[in-house]
Structure 1
Amino acid sequence: MSLFRALFVSIRVWLILLGFVVAFVVAYALPLLLPVLEIAFWVFLLLVVIDAVLLFRQSQVGSQPVFFARRALPERLSNGDDNPITLYLESRYPFNASVEIIDEIPFQFQRRDVLFQSEVKPNEVRTLRYDLRPTRRGEYSFGAINVYVMTPMRLLKRRFQFEQGRLVPVYPSYLQMRQYELLAASNRLTELGIKKIRRIGHSMEFEQVRPYTQGDDLRTINWKATARRSDPNQSNLVVNAYTDERSQAVYCLIDKGRVMRSPFEGLTLLDYAINASLVLSNIALIKQDRAGLITFSDKIGQVVPAERRPGHMLKILEVLYRQKTRYLETDFEALYATIRTQVRQRGLLLLFTNFETISGMRRQLPYLRRLAKDHLLLVVFFDNTELRSLLDTPAHTTEDVYLKTIAEKFSYEKRQIVKELQQYGIQSILTAPKDLTANTVNKYLELKARGMI
């Protein structure tokens, strides 16, 4: 039974049989063709038998299987990123094996096109690579690797199955986090759209004195240290070097309410906020600040105190992995009460939420003003890119004019929200979802460079 389950007939066989049927019908009108067709048919059957023998005569060569395949997966997939998947094929058939590979990927991807065709020479290891971009966190189940092997005649197929039922978790975008981390360590964040912020003044945390170089602020010259230098061959000017304030508390406040359920390019606003929080927390730790996390909706979710201990980043990653959207109205009063009791030291609060209308923002404004009184509050909300594309499209009909007018009204309200928050001294970012991480890191570095935290 296992032999018949592994045996498949190629399309070439069915086409040849169809050709024989047509030829035999024609042979009734031309009887001289009948003996030739009979010989050809028996030759064809002989070739099919030979093809079957070549495919199924052995299952192993020595102690090794006659054909082997495996899938190389990361221990976890990165949400919203292209994750590389590698297939390794190894053949010990004595001929060049033509193979078709169908990889059973998780149903969440809704793809049925993961089909590859290749040729594997004897004792050769062939590598195939493709990418998967998950858009939801959670566990993904990979099925079997189905490999259909054919001889050079391509009449029959022998199916091999490998690696059935492997679970792989999908975590927040740790690939993006590592990318920002490497570029931050090498001071190359501008490659990802991070702007260089000109320092206005300096913090009061003294680091060292060093020789003056062109472009240094003249106000930082240390005249006493300069007077003590007596070597005439060296520049006499010495300046004080200051460093950024360190060990500041940076909290990411993530709204999990229904306003964060909207999808853009496959990811929900909550997932965009989670990915940005992961990157920002890591950048804050690199800048010697303390990173914390609070999730909330109709009730308070996870609270991770701001720390800078070894393994703290892994703790934040695990907490973000488990977050899910809730469908109730967000309770900002509970958020304020939690911060009032658990965040005693002044710090930077990055609130990831979404306001569609100015009236919706005004309902929460009293709590935002209270938070801004005790902390530096940065409200991050999202521009509707679908409306933006509608506004950029020319109107050709009366219906288009009405739609553009409504879209302009919503876009105007978003801009008004920014202005009204500024009136109360609340920092804000209105950003497209895909630009969220870069804009948030930009704002954090700007606030830090200006000594506001």
Structure 2
Amino acid sequence: MTTSLMRRWPRFRFLARFFFDDFILPTRRLILLALSGCPLAALGYLLGWGYAVFWMVNGLLVIASVIDLASLPRRRELIAVRELPEQIDLGRALPVCIRLENRSGQLVWYELLDDLPLSFDRLEPLAGELPPGSVTVRYETRARERGTYTLSHLYLRYRGSIGLWQKQAKLSCKQSVKVYPDLSAVRGYLNSLQESLIVDGRKVMRRATSGSEFHAIRDYVPDDDPRHINWSASARTRRLMTNQYRPEQGKVVTILLDCGRMMGVELNGRTKLDLSLEAALTLAAVALRQGDQVALLAFSHETKVYVPPGRGLAHLHTLLDAVFDLQSDFVESNPLQALEYLFRQQKRRSLTVLFSDMENYLLEDQMAAYLRRFRRSHLLLLLSLADPLLHAWNKAETVSSRLAYIKALAQRFQLDRKAFQQNMIGAGIQVLDVPADQLTLAVVNRYLEIKAREAL
């Protein structure tokens, strides 16, 4: 900033405060009264009264304006306090409570507008009466993007009983709110006392009840394996008892989140990264509840976040705080670099679940070879969201040569995706290309299936 600009800057700040913070505006009533005085002044001029009517009408307006302005409350006599939750889920209603306090001793009418971020639903100004004392105003809004947002000010306009002029004030009321991913599936699982997980009204497979690790002794039922009967316990209780086994706990599940350009594509108003993040957190909750350890790595062209393996539901909060504000970068992702970083950090064998886009798998020349090498020390599960546009073009009717050409291309891309899946499955690498509404269901089911088979 130059010296001349530094000298003039205090004046600009004064003008900004005057016009935006403490400006006085005429109301609709004053404008209508001023316009209605014009016919009266014209009538008086025609009747030969000269400008007497004109000066009388305008003089009354001036006197009323002076009285109105003098009676308006001072800015310091109006106090606003905002209350809102510290965190909210994406797309959920955010309740906001504003308490207005009037210390002027007179009734005023107000219009209130909150300083909402651009990604929040916009609202009309809140209007009402503010008697002496305090009034509580409530409204709801919704956030459309994850992250940490700050609500800095409240914009208030108020007028008195005469209602010719209104003042506007910019009240400082700084608060922050964290917008988390939609955690309804995670909370539904953690709060469930059943032996199954319900996701979007559909039942995920039952938790594995067999394995190699001893869990408990219970009563024998006809469907139990006779080889697991505990004869010593049966002799003590004089009824058949059986040993209950479960899969081994303490395994490591590593989640890789692609934050590259392709993950910023929207599907029905939600980005692929949002959908993948919600599915990843649900998988983490299930794995931690099963007694396993969970690590997480987020990457684009470079490593963005790495959370080492941890156990217990308290670790879920660590994962959530690390990734709730992740955004997709407008660059091509580099999954090979992320896998190399993970290979250096994670020496212990783990189930590595990669949330990415199928195009990244197909376009990366060295991807298949590196995945086969990585498969030797880790169990891999590749996840991708199916492209609804390709599915729609595959089902389109060929009513013209142009549509036939587009359909042929769509089928070609679909065949490439299936060929990559078959190639990876042949190498012992599981690949899931599922619709967006089935991603959470598919990844949790596959994890529980792997646990039941003790493939890790």
2:363 is aligned to: 360
User: Which of 383, 390, 409 pairs up with 1:380?
Assistant: 383
Residues 1:160 and 1:323: Cα distance change in structure 2 (over 3 Å): closer
Which one of 117, 135, 140 corresponds to residue 127 of structure 2? Answer: 117
CA contact (8 A) 1:66 1:92 kept: yes
Gaps in structure 2 of 5+ consecutive residues: 1-13
| Alignment pair present for 1:196 and 2:213 | no
Match of 1:351 in 2: 354
> Secondary structure, in 3 states, of the residue corresponding to 1:346?
coil
> Which residue is equivalent to 2:28?
11
Change (3 A) 1:131 1:111: closer
In the alignment, which residue of structure 2 is the partner of 1:217? 224
**C-alpha distance 303-124 of structure 1, shift in aligned 2 (>3 A):** closer
Supply the distance in 2 between the matched residues of 1:103 and 1:114 (Cα, whole angstroms): 10
1:132, distance to aligned residue in structure 2 (A): 3.3
* 1:161 equivalenced with 2:170 (yes/no): yes
User: Are 2:275 and 1:287 equivalent residues in the alignment?
Assistant: no
Amino acid paired to 2:168 = R
Aligned mates of 1:94, 1:436 — CA distance in 2: 59
Task: Indicate how the Cα distance of structure 1 residues 27 and 408 shifts in structure 2: closer, same or farther if over 3 A, else same.
Answer: farther
Equivalent residue number for residue 62 of structure 1 = none
Q: Distance in 2 between matches of 1:438 and 1:27?
A: 82
Q: Does 1:431 align with 2:434?
A: yes
- Partner Cα distance (2:65, 2:395) in 1: 62
Change (3 A) 1:340 1:191: closer
Structure 1, unmatched stretches of 5+, are 60-64
Residue pairs, 1:95-244, within 5 angstroms = 96-106=107-117, 108-109=118-119, 113=123, 115-137=125-147, 140-151=149-160, 153-163=162-172, 166=174, 168=176, 170=178, 172-173=180-181, 175-176=183-184, 179-180=187-188, 182-184=190-192, 189-190=197-198, 192-193=200-201, 195-198=203-206, 202-212=210-220, 216-219=223-226, 222=229, 224-225=231-232, 227-228=234-235, 236-244=239-247
* Alignment partner, residue 100 of structure 2: 89
SS of residue matched to 1:146: strand
| Aligned counterparts of 2:264 and 2:64: Cα–Cα separation in 1 | 60
Does the aligned pair in 1 maintain the 2:293–2:309 contact within 8 Å?
yes
> In structure 2, what residue type is equivalent to 1:294?
L
Report 1:61-80 matches (<5 A): 66-75=77-86
Greater CA drift, 89-98 or 283-292: 89-98
Instruction: Classify 1:195/1:31 alpha carbon distance in 2 versus 1 (closer, same or farther; 3 Å).
Output: farther
Q: Name the CA shift for 1:364/1:184 in 2 (closer, same or farther; >3 Å).
A: farther
Classify 1:142/1:401 alpha carbon distance in 2 versus 1 (closer, same or farther; 3 Å): farther
Deviations 1:104-163 (A, max 9, x none): 223x428764532233344242222222314254x5443320111233554322223222
Distance in 2, matches of 1:329 and 1:158, equals 51
- The total of aligned residue pairs comes to 439
State the 1:354 CA deviation.
0.8
Mapped to 1, the partners of 2:28 and 2:389 lie a distance apart of 45
**Alignment partner, residue 7 of structure 2:** none
Offset at residue 251 of structure 1 (A): 0.3
In the alignment, is the contact (CA less than 8 A) between 1:177 and 1:278 conserved in 2? no
The TM-score, its normalising length taken from structure 1, stands at: 0.77
Q: Secondary structure at the match of 1:295?
A: strand
Checking the alignment, whether the CA contact within 8 Å between 1:197 and 1:449 is kept in structure 2 is: no
Residues 1:321 and 1:3: Cα distance change in structure 2 (over 3 Å): closer
CA separation in 2, counterparts of 1:3 and 1:379?
58
Q: Quick check: 1:269 aligned with 2:279?
A: no
Comparing 74-83 with 253-262, greater Cα deviation is found at 74-83
Q: Aligned-pair distance for 1:98? A: 2.6
**C-alpha deviations, 1:386-421, integer Å up to 9, x for none?**
555666788887656655554454445445544443
Of the structure 1 ranges 287-296 and 255-264, higher mean CA displacement relative to structure 2 is found in 255-264
Deviation at 1:329? 4.8
| C-alpha displacement of 1:260 | 2.7
Greater mean deviation of Cα atoms: 330-339 or 37-46: 37-46
Q: What one-letter code is carried by the residue in structure 2 that aligns with 1:445?
A: L
Shift of 1:18: 2.3
Q: Is the 8 A contact 2:258 2:335 kept in 1?
A: no
Determine the C-alpha separation between the residues in 1 that align with 2:354 and 2:299: 11
Q: Secondary structure at the match of 1:316?
A: helix
Quote how far apart the aligned CAs of 1:292 are: 0.6
The more displaced of 371-380 and 394-403 is 394-403
CA contact (8 A) 1:96 1:121 kept: yes
- Name the aligned partner's letter for residue 128 of structure 1: R
- Alpha-carbon distance in 2 for matches of 1:178, 1:154: 53
2: CA distance between counterparts of 1:118 and 1:438?
48
CA contact (8 A) 2:387 2:435 kept: yes
One-letter amino acid matched to 2:143: R
What's the TM-score, normalizing by structure 2?
A: 0.77
Counterparts of 2:106 and 2:213 in 1: how far apart (Å)?
73
Q: Secondary structure at the match of 1:144?
A: strand
Quote how far apart the aligned CAs of 1:100 are.
Answer: 1.0
